[in-house]
Structure 1
Amino acid sequence: MLPLPAAFAGLLRSNCPRFLRYQNYATRKRFYRGTGVIQSEKKWEVTLDHRRLKTPNGQVLMVNSEPLARAIAAEWDAQTEVITQPTMHLTSLCNTALDNPGKLTPHDIAIYFLEYFSTDTLLFYSDEEEELRKLQEIKWGPIIDWFQKRFDVVQEVSKGLEPPPVTANTRAVLAKYFLSYDFPALTAMSFGVEALKSPLLMLACVERRLDPKEAVLLARLEEEYQLMRWGRVPWAHELNQAELTARVAASLLVIHSSVEHHSAKAKATPERMSQ
């Protein structure tokens, strides 16, 4: 194995950072009539009655892409008499990325992912119910296979209570991958990881191997199995599934908007240099 850059070596030795804190708030009455989107310099802002939307810390909420700004505006436009901010995932994610209430760095979030990885839901197969284990092998196995091929690593699974080993090479590859994203994208990625309880499933979504609905179904595989055996509470299951899907979808919109912005910026650089 090649020597690790100092930054990555530090990630492999560090402990899990402080818990990430997302900015959600109590409900309040709607105080605006309309929403809008404006371009400011090379970024986009959301307006409420022509006033610029700000974060809880008073910063103007600015994002890198028009589609993301319009999606945030749509969240505000969809509110009725009462603003229910805990359901406004895009606004919450962007507020958190800008205000950074946990005072985290990209390295902190990367460490969080690396520590979480060994407890990933997909790495723990049932050792008590053979039928459930077979279902996990059928449903989760292809995602683990995809992960190994995509990142050129080897990853074992556990069939007991002990976490499976994660090699130093795998941790180094993942550290490099995570640190290739900017802070807003990493913040959004952590939001998705916490919803799915699985960095593996979130990676598959980011890489477009899975869509949010598929990822949520795989994350809830054991619960679905038990519900099929013992029954379910009407509506509660569907509501929870829809909420998780919305969280993952919001995370992906922020991540992909960030990636597309940086890709476009990188492509434009040679053109500017040649002028």
Structure 2
Amino acid sequence: MSEWKAKRFWKEAAVEDADGGFTVKLDGRPVKTPAKRALILPTRPMAEVVAAEWDAQEDEIKPHLMPATRTANAAIDKVATQHAEVADMLAAYGDSDLLCYRADRPEGLVARQAEQWDPMLEWGAEEFGVRLEPRTGVIHAPQHPDALKKLSAQTHALSAFELAAFHDLVSLSGSLILGFAAAAKARPLDELWDISRLDEIWQAEQWGRDEEAEAMVAIKKTSFLHAGHMFTLCCADH
């Protein structure tokens, strides 16, 4: 027995004003989230991106081709209902931030980590008034509680939509600081992604490329870039 698949039933997807933001309607009927909540987007540009995804569907609805809609659904159905828990989980990355765990050899890798990661830690210090401290090796060494408290406050201050996008920026890069840098457009997203992949890039230079691994990385990079775009849309002109 073949699996039932949803079919396109509408002619037009349109953006309309709604209480608390903007919504997308399909032939006048508002789109709902999987949990049957109202799909209310914080900015018109974000709503237009979501509407474009619905308009792009052809005979069969393909959710994997609707990343903005998925992010919006996650923000409404998941993040908004457990905001503090999500913020705590992401803020915890600060205590084991990728940028802080350094190699002790070879010299070329040590130098490259310092060259690329130290400026990002300095950016975090200037932006938030706290500096996470690097250490050599992979054994966990706690950061100063005051630094973590300030970074946690910044994380908790994000809206549900911002936090939904921020989740991928942090979890995919392994770094709270790189997540904040991506959200603030401190550097181009492509550059920040490469900074987060420094160790893997180094290994590929030494031992050769792994096509299967690179295919997985490409998928993650696409998700990282999408998250950065969604974060920007949260703050776009209404």
Is the TM value for this pair above 0.5?
yes
Give the AA of the match of 1:147: G
Q: How does 1:41-60 map to 2 (within 5 A)?
A: 41=19, 43-60=21-38
Partner of 1:134: 111
Q: Is the 8 A contact 2:102 2:138 kept in 1?
A: no
Q: Is the 8 A contact 2:97 2:176 kept in 1?
A: yes
In 2: Cα distance, 1:56 partner to 1:205 partner: 29
In 1: Cα distance, 2:65 partner to 2:103 partner: 34
Give the AA of the match of 1:74: A
Counterpart of 1:194 (choices 150, 153, 171) is 171
Q: Is the 8 A contact 1:156 1:165 kept in 2?
A: no
- Which stretch shifts more, 31-40 or 218-227? 31-40
Counterpart of 1:180 (choices 157, 172, 196) is 157
Partner of 1:249: 225
Q: Is the 8 A contact 1:196 1:244 kept in 2?
A: no
In 2: Cα distance, 1:236 partner to 1:75 partner: 29
TM-score (norm 2): 0.85
Q: Is the 8 A contact 2:169 2:182 kept in 1?
A: no
Counterpart of 2:70 (choices 74, 92, 103) is 92
Counterpart of 1:228 (choices 179, 199, 205) is 205
How far off its partner does 1:187 sit?
A: 2.3
- Which stretch shifts more, 220-229 or 72-81? 72-81
Structure 2 unaligned spans of 5+: none
Give the AA of the match of 2:228: L
How far off its partner does 1:205 sit?
A: 0.9
Q: How does 1:137-148 map to 2 (within 5 A)?
A: 137-148=114-125
Give the AA of the match of 2:123: W
How far off its partner does 1:248 sit?
A: 2.7
Identity among equivalent positions (%) equals 24
Partner of 2:16: 38
**1:10-57 deviations in Å (ceiling 9; x for gaps):** xxxxxxxxxxxxxxxx99454244432222245211233443221001
How far off its partner does 1:202 sit?
A: 0.7
In 1: Cα distance, 2:194 partner to 2:230 partner: 22
How far off its partner does 1:235 sit?
A: 8.0
Give the AA of the match of 1:250: H
CA gap 1:173/1:221 in 2 versus in 1, 3 angstroms = same
RMSD: 2.7
In 2: Cα distance, 1:140 partner to 1:101 partner: 30
Partner of 1:73: 51
**Following TM superposition, where does structure 1 have runs of at least 4 consecutive aligned residues deviating by more than 6 angstroms?**
none
How far off its partner does 1:242 sit?
A: 4.3
* Alignment partner of 1:167 is 2:144: yes
In 2: Cα distance, 1:54 partner to 1:71 partner: 16
How far off its partner does 1:119 sit?
A: 1.9
Q: Secondary structure at the match of 1:36?
A: strand
Alignment size in residue pairs: 235
CA gap 1:64/1:154 in 2 versus in 1, 3 angstroms = closer
Q: Secondary structure at the match of 2:96?
A: coil
